[in-house]
């Protein structure tokens, strides 16, 4: 007969009289450690709507669509917590570093509809004053202008938008075929229209 080692007996007695290593969840709420990757959440005031999070999401939990609704161009982001794998790529690749952050919340079990596990935010889109096409979200344009500082004055679209304030070029422009004039260079234009305006002048 093989007798147990003294070390194993010591460990067994110690674990028998000590508190359990695991938490008492769900009887008691569990508090994860500081760097725990839990449910991601959009912070609407810090998000600029660039779409980097949607491009790097391996599970496809973040999507966006551009649409014109009620006379305004909008970019609508949809974050699905039911398909998110909490990899942290969205937070790591956010250009502001604060637009989407993984919280420490992990208990997402629900008996309700899956639509309850969705977060949506909307951002206004800047429109080209030449052709009316969508360019980028207005907050992204403002963020780029602030980041560039005095260097933004090398781009006419950035300068005009930066000086005009938050309501620049939100109303849809009328699509029309016309010749660009020299004065059209000082407008908020998409790359295609800016090329035409520069070549014509």
Domains of the chain: 35-126 (3.30.70.3270), 128-201 (no CATH)
**Cβ atoms of 170 and 123 closer than 8 Å:** no
Please report the pLDDT score of residue 61 as a whole number: 94
CA dihedral sign, ordered 196, 149, 127, 186: negative
Percentage, residues of the chain above pLDDT 90? 33
> Does pTM top 0.85 for this prediction?
no
Provide the 8-state DSSP code for 12. Answer: H
Q: What is the pLDDT of residues 42-88, one digit of tens each?
A: 999 999 999 999 999 999 999 999 998 887 889 999 999 989 999 99
Assign 90 a pLDDT band (cuts: 50, 70, 90): very high
Cα distance between residue 125 and residue 122, in whole Å: 10
Q: What is the pLDDT of residues 71-84, one digit of tens each?
A: 788 999 999 998 99
Assign 3 a pLDDT band (cuts: 50, 70, 90): low
Residue 192 has pLDDT above 90, yes or no: no
Average pLDDT, rounded, for the chain: 83
Please report the pLDDT score of residue 166 as a whole number: 55
Q: What is the pLDDT of residues 94-130, one digit of tens each?
A: 999 999 999 988 878 777 788 888 999 999 998 888 8
Burial of 201 (0-12, 13-18, 19+ CB in 10 A): exposed
């Amino acid at each position: 007969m093989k007798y147990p080692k003294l070390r194993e007996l010591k460990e067994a007695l110690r674990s028998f009289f000590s508190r359990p290593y695991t938490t008492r969840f769900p009887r008691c709420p569990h508090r994860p450690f500081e760097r725990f990757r839990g449910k991601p959440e959009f912070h609407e005031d810090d998000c600029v709507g660039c779409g980097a999070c949607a491009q790097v999401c391996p599970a496809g939990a973040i999507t966006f669509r551009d649409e014109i609704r009620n006379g305004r161009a909008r970019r609508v982001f949809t974050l699905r917590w039911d398909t998110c794998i909490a990899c942290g790529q969205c937070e790591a690749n956010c250009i502001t570093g604060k637009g989407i952050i993984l919280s420490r919340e992990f208990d997402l079990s629900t008996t309700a509809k899956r639509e309850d596990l969705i977060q949506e935010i909307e951002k206004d889109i800047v429109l080209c004053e030449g052709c009316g096409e969508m360019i980028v979200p207005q907050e992204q344009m403002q963020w780029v202008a602030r980041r560039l500082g005095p260097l933004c004055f090398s781009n006419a679209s950035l300068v005009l938008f930066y000086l005009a304030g938050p309501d620049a070029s939100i109303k849809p422009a009328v699509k029309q075929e016309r010749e660009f004039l020299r004065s059209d260079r000082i407008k908020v234009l998409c790359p295609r229209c800016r090329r035409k305006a520069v070549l014509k002048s």
